[in-house]
Structures are given as structure tokens and as C-alpha cells.
Amino acid sequence: MKTTSIKVLKSHSDRIPLRIFWPGEMSQFLLARRNEWGMPTVGIEELLKALLRQKLITKAEFTSNRYGTIVRYIRGEHSPEEMALSLQRDSFLSHGTALSMHGITVPGKIMHVNREQSPKTQSSEITQAGIKLAFRNAQRQSQYIFDYSRMKYMLLSGKHTNRAGVTQVKTLSGKALEVTDLERTLIDIVVRPAYAGGIERVAEAYATLGDSIDVDHLMDLLRRLDHAYPYHQAIGFLLERVGQSAGFNKLASLGREFDFYLDYRIKDPAFNKKWRIYYPTSLA
């Protein structure tokens, strides 16, 4: 590209939006702007390379040992949470990342970002033997993990829920990001404790929030999420443990038909008869 063209390009650089572009979006943007910038004959690839050389945009490469590299083009500064949401369409922050967005924990080195699957028919039939079998091993975790700029990004494919409990939370910079609300997050981290740093961290989150948890909203979300397993027993146990009496009494009304587990692969667990739940002795 000619020196004069580069000067023109720099003069228009402030018109490039401060955002994260998918490759196709970047190409479409340049295609729409090159006439305006007086470069109708310059190819899109050449124009893109010039922008990168002049550091007017940045190429972000999310790499994985298992999957192909994900490429995004960046204009301006963006938080790891914003970067996480750029990886999949219609996604939202969840689990441990949602906890940090709500100010319950400090941000970690891994971003959890969820995109719901398409609706599927599921059997609601569970058995005691099936529960025992499911929880005797470690929690299965997503291997869909990418690295970028000293952060890890874990992409989750959650159950279809019509985005139940997904809201927007503003960052310090004023940007509104899609994230599970507090009560949805508290349910999700009971369902998948490893995504919040382990069951002890989950218990700490419940202890931190205590009476500020909106149990009616939480119960409404439990109905909408419609999990096959009786996670209300685990949540009731955690609420009673921190003295949330109104909350655990409401959850107790949902029934306690099965013996259940607070976590996966618990060694030498203790048993709470009221909630019919096995839990680590560290939480006794």
C-alpha cells in the first residue's frame, strides 16, 4: 500500500468502532468503508494487513490444544469478560465468572461463558442407583478451552432454558454484559461446583450472601430450569447451614425423595438426614 494511502487510513482510524470484530464482520466493515476512505481498488486483505501493521486494530488469537484457533479483531481496550462473550453468539457469562461479576468473588484466571443448546427432550425419571452412579466420579468438565493473553476461556454448552435468569450487569467502564443473575448463578454453581472453584467456594458464596438471597426467585428459577436431579436439597442444605431459615423451609416443601450428593466423588462423606444429602466433612 502506498504511503499516501497509509496516511489516509490513519486519518480515518478514529472512525473504526471500539469493538471486537469477528473476521467476517471485519471484512464487511472494510468493504463498506474503503470507498469512503478513498481506496476503492485496495483489496480487503491488503487493507486489513495495513491496519494491523499500523496497529490501528489488533488480531486476537484464542488457541487450543484440541480445537482450531478462534480469531477476533479488536479496536480499543476490552476486558476478559467482553472477550469471552465475543467467542460465541448469544452467549452469557456464568458460574465462577458470574460470581465475580456480582462482586461475590475476585475475578479468576478462567472465564466461563455459556451458550445454550437447542431444545431437547429429556427423561425426568431418576433412580437412587442412577444418582449414586452419576456422583461417584469427578464432575465432567468442558474441554472446550482456549488461551489468550494469560487467560483461559472455557466455553460451555448449557441446557436450553430460554435464557432463564440471564440479565445484564454493568462493568466499571459502564458496558452492560450478559450474565446469569445472582440466584441463577447460585443454582448453576451447585449443579457444577468445579466451575466455581469447588464446593467449598460454593459454600462460601452462600455464606457471603446469607439473607440477601431472593429464595422466591431462586425457586421460580428451579422450576424453569427443570433439572432432573433434586438440587433443591443441596441448596436447602447450604441455606440452612448459613442460617437462612425462611429459605430452607421453602425448599424443604419441594420434597426429599432421594438421597443426594452435594458434590461429585466425595471421600468419606457425612450425611444430613433432614436433607438426605451426602456432603464433605470439611463443611460439617
pLDDT at 150 over 50: yes
Say if CB 96 and CB 80 are below 8 A apart.
no
Q: What is the pLDDT of residues 154-212, one digit of tens each?
A: 999 999 999 999 999 988 778 899 999 999 999 999 999 999 999 999 999 999 998 89
pLDDT at 3 over 60: no
In angstroms, the Cα distances linking 75 to 20, 143, 155 are 6, 29, 23
What is the pTM (predicted TM-score) of this model?
A: 0.93
Give the SS3 label for residue 203: helix
pLDDT at 284: 83
pLDDT at 4: 44
With cell 454448552, the residue in question is: 157
3-class SS string, 133-166: HHHCCCCCCCCCEEEECCEEEEEEEECCCCCCCE
Report the mean per-residue pLDDT for the chain.
92
